[in-house]
Structure 1
Amino acid sequence: MSIRKTGMALWLAMAAAGCGAPNAYIEPPPPEVTVSNPIKRTVTEYLEFSGMTQPMETVEIRARVKGFLKEKHFVEGAEVKKGQLLLVIDEETFQIQLDAARTRLREAQAALQQATVSKSREVARARVNLSESEVRLARQEEQRVRGLFQKQIATESDMDQASSTRKSRDADLESAKANLEQALATYETTILTCEAQVESAKIAVQNAQLDLSYCRMSAPIDGRISHINVDIGNLVGDGQSSVLATIVKMNPIYAYATISESDVLRTPALTKFGSESTDSEAEPVPVELGLASQNGFPAQGQINYTDPGLDAGTGTLRVRGVFQNDDRTLLPGMFVRMRIPVVERVDALLVPERALGTDQSGQYLLVVAADGTVEYRPVRTGVSVDGLRVVEGQISLSDQLIVDGLLRARPGAKVSPKTEPAPATVSLTTGAGRR
């Protein structure tokens, strides 16, 4: 019974207290937000795209003669120098062929020398001279006998004999002249034939020397060599050109990429590359490159080729950059990131990425006015640079942008701003990516 009385007393006391004056409303303090000012810098806008590396030169080492592979003078996968001996095919057969060709050359030269010193022309010419003397003598004898015959000292038989002798000597002279012409013609033909045989023998020697030289295969370029495709002791060059190894030149190295038509139009330097107005003194098109595992674009290079036109099927332009690769970081076949400077924006305003908000109207910034009131400022965003974003709109360097606490701030309400240190200086060479 005492417990019931005690509870009733407590209830009456609480009721009496509730009937007193009401509690006064105390407005909560403005939410605390972190603010920062925009910064102004010169920013280069870049066109970013992906590409793939390819070696500057690729050379296949082939067997150009048929033979047994005898020697190997390189380490597979290692660097080789231009002119370095790589492989040797058994040379004995080709050396024998060269010796035989040289012997045939000496035989042809000897035949030419023998034909040159031939006396057949002189013998034929002497025979002509002798026949001419005999003809003159026969004619004189005929004239003498005719004179005696007219004086009736010589008989008709003597006259016939002298005339017959003269005619015989004329015939001998014609025959001697014909023999001389034949000797001259034979001499010239023999000389030409021997000279041709000498030239043919020289060509055979050159071919044999060439075949022998093909037995020793050297590196035509500097580069890295692949594994050997045929083991030592095997027959190579049998019916086709056997690829024994491959050398790729990796320094400098190429990087190929395709760029869309819209991006090409944004990059005037690409459309002018290779035109008549571009000469050797024209400013090259710079390009930067980075791997997926790297931050930024550490490799610097130049665009040294663009296709003459866009691919009609894909609407893209193929470009090629060349980069130094002294440390061999870039390997052929790698996917890489590349970028080309498009335009330089002087005195661009940059704000932290986290200060930007997005609604149905687009992106905006919340600015703290002098009286602590939050203002809504719509902006147009540009490229991103190291965690900052280029913006355009009703923004000035003196504006205090809310960078932390966006969810606690609303336009028209007051906030308690706390200043954040200014962002680090942006390098003039830091590039901006695609929007």
Structure 2
Amino acid sequence: MKWARGSKAGLGAMCLAAGLGAGLQGCSPAGSQTGPAAAPPPPEVGVVTVAPGRADLSVELPGRLEAYRVAQVRARAAGILHKRLFTEGSDVKAGQPLFDIDAAPYRATLASAQAQLARAEANLMQAQALADRYAPLARSQAVSQQEALNAQAAAKQAAADVQAGKAAVQTALINLGYATVTAPIAGRIGRALVTEGALVGQGEATPLAVVQQIDKLYVNFTQSAADVMRLRQALAAGRLQRAGGGEAAKVQVLLEDGSVFPQAGKLLFSDLSVDANTGQIALRAELPNPQGLLLPGLYVRVRLAQAEVADGVLLPQQAVARGSAGDSVLVVADDGAVTARPVKLGPAQGGRALVLDGLKAGEKVVVDGLQKVKAGGKARPVAVAAAGSAPVAAAPASAASR
């Protein structure tokens, strides 16, 4: 029995030693039992698929608004200003009375001219009657030929006096009309430059007010002569088509807050010469302003559509890498290989880069996660639809012409 108890104790010690050995073997480093670490998966990047389409080639230039017509209201009759007949800042019609000048001297001058005309007409009647009476008497030699000739000359002189009297009356009427100053054009009138009681028109035509027609406005702006020459060369070579199919180029005005004025204008002309000091060419456009919201003198940005690109591609600006060697984008192939593709850019369109050459339809361009990949590496492309990224193709005609 003693041996049996000792045998059981020895057997327990052997089992405990075996368990400790198994535990120590299980705590050994894992690396000693496995092979080399697996390569990390390729990074995920956002891409857009290239779909070329028509796009307007437009530029944004600084410009300034100018009234379509400007007329200075001046006093053409000398006298004391009696009354102002308009409200400052209101719209006036052509021919509407604006000021009254003391007309009493001009009415008196008119009455005197009319009296002189009446006297001349009476003298003409008398002289003509005498000439008519002497004509048959001269033929019968009852009076001398000289007397008949004198009578005819007196009649003609009296007729000339009548014409002079009529001209004097007409002049007096004109001067009397100048006593009421009217609006030369329809438009919006500014503040009065003189007040009642002022002596105006004394020696020169005194400025009284300014009327500006603003239902239409001119937009004056300039463009670099070098840009204009490059555009003309591209049009001549057939790489671009003229915007609007040969019609007047459309012009959009961008306000200070970045919004686009709802009325589109049209380009009227570009200057025939280049400013020697700035190297710029002056351009002018006509802009409808039916509500009178825009005012002359306002500085604006002008978006001018000059040409059309048949196969343009619009990309977010961050997708394009710019360097001394040129512009490029990252393209992901079907097998995930990333390559750098040189591209040719046109002017930015609505905050997006316009690619004129270098990309083909169906290619995937990296627009998100550019910091994760580089040319020669691998990537897993995922289509994105972020604002400014989804519409990769050039905007449709309705959007491009906005």
Q: Indicate which of 358, 383, 390 corresponds to 1:423.
A: 390
Question: Hey, what's the Cα distance between the residues in 2 that align with 1:84 and 1:393?
Answer: 60
Farther off after superposition, 289-298 or 84-93: 289-298
Instruction: Determine if contact 1:121/1:180 at 8 Å carries over to the other structure.
Output: no
Q: How does 1:12-23 map to 2 (within 5 A)?
A: 21=32
Tell me how far apart the structure 2 counterparts of residues 244 and 377 of structure 1 sit (CA, whole Å): 66
Matches within 5 A, 1:243-282: 243-268=207-232
What's the CA shift for 1:22?
A: 8.4
* Residue equivalent to 1:240: 204
1:231 corresponds to: 195
Q: Distance in 1 between matches of 2:60 and 2:209?
A: 37
* 1:267–1:85 CA distance, 2 compared to 1 (3 A): farther
Identify the residue that residue 372 of structure 1 maps to in structure 2: 336
Q: Mind listing any 5+ residue stretches in structure 1 that lack a counterpart?
A: 1-12, 130-178, 273-281
Question: Contact (CA 8 Å) 1:44, 1:429: kept in 2 or not?
Answer: no
Residue of structure 1 equivalent to 2:311: 347
Measured against aligned partners, the alpha-carbon deviations of 1:322-378 in whole angstroms (never above 9, x if no partner) come to 111102122111222224333322232333322223455333222333333333333
Taking the aligned partners of 1:294 and 1:387, their CA distance within structure 2 comes to: 12
Please report the TM-score for the alignment, with normalisation by the length of structure 1. 0.73
Tell me which of 34, 44, 54 is aligned to 2:66: 54
Q: Any conservation in 2 of the 1:290–1:299 contact (CA below 8 Å)?
A: no
- Which protein is bigger by CA-based radius of gyration? 1
Aligned counterpart in structure 1 of residue 153 of structure 2, from 189, 192, 201: 189
- Alignment check: 8 A CA contact 1:288 1:338 kept: yes
Q: How does 1:208-223 map to 2 (within 5 A)?
A: 208-223=172-187
Gap change, CA 1:29 and 1:99, over 3 Å in 2: same
Alpha-carbon spacing, 1:127–1:411, altered in 2? closer, same or farther (3 Å): closer
Percent sequence identity is 30
Correspondence for 2:10: none
Q: Within 5 A, what are the aligned runs for 1:6-405?
A: 21=32, 25-118=37-130, 121=134, 129=142, 180-268=144-232, 283-296=247-260, 298-391=262-355, 395-405=359-369
Q: Distance in 2 between matches of 1:393 and 1:245?
A: 57
Over aligned residue pairs, what C-alpha RMSD do you find? 3.3
- How many angstroms apart in 2 are the aligned matches of 1:367 and 1:427? 24
Instruction: Tell me which moved more, 46-55 or 218-227.
Output: 46-55
Any idea what SS the aligned residue of 2:336 has?
A: coil
How many matched pairs?
359
Q: Is the 8 A contact 1:368 1:375 kept in 2?
A: yes
Structure 1 residue 231, shift from structure 2 partner: 0.5
State the Cα deviation string for residues 70-113 of structure 1 (Å, max 9, x = none): 12211111111112111111222211111111111111111121
Letter in 2 for 1:101: A
TM-score (norm 2): 0.78
Structure 2: where are the runs of 5+ without partners?
Answer: 1-23, 237-245
In 2, the alpha carbon distance for the partners of 1:211 and 1:184 equals 41
